[in-house]
Amino acid sequence: MPDRHEDVSYVGSMFSGFDSYECEYQQFQWDVHLLIKGTLNAGIRFLDGDAKTELAKIEEWMKKPASDEYQEHLVDEHVDVLANE
């Protein structure tokens, strides 16, 4: 029958290279990564919806008769929204 003291020293040697702080740090880094990525994705979806709404409004106004100067302004706005989409 193995000595109980030998069992304890074997278990202790298994964890001698284990750094709990490193594990916690890695988990924290992963949590921050997910938080930032999730926020970014939510922002992109929100802004994409805003851009589509804004484009629809501009395109509606572009179809209506307007002065050349105002029509040019609407085209410029349309291009700006498309460029930032």
- Decide if 78 is inside a domain: yes
- Decide if 13 is inside a domain: no
- Decide if 59 is inside a domain: yes
- Decide if 37 is inside a domain: no
Which residues form the domain of 67? 49-85
Question: Residue 50's pLDDT is what?
Answer: 83
Q: What is the pTM for the complete model shown?
A: 0.44
HEC profile of the chain: CCCHHHHHHHHHHHCCCCCHHHHHHHHHHHHHHHHHHHHHHHHHHHHHHHHHHHHHHHHHHHHCCCCHHHHHHHHHHHHHHHHHC
Number of domains forming the structure of the chain: 1
Residue 28, both tokens: 């924290």
- Decide if 39 is inside a domain: no
DSSP conformational letter for 1: -
Look at 41 and 11; give whichever has higher pLDDT.
41
Question: Residue 68's pLDDT is what?
Answer: 74
- Decide if 68 is inside a domain: yes
Rounded CA gap, 18 and 1, in Å?
Answer: 29
- Decide if 81 is inside a domain: yes
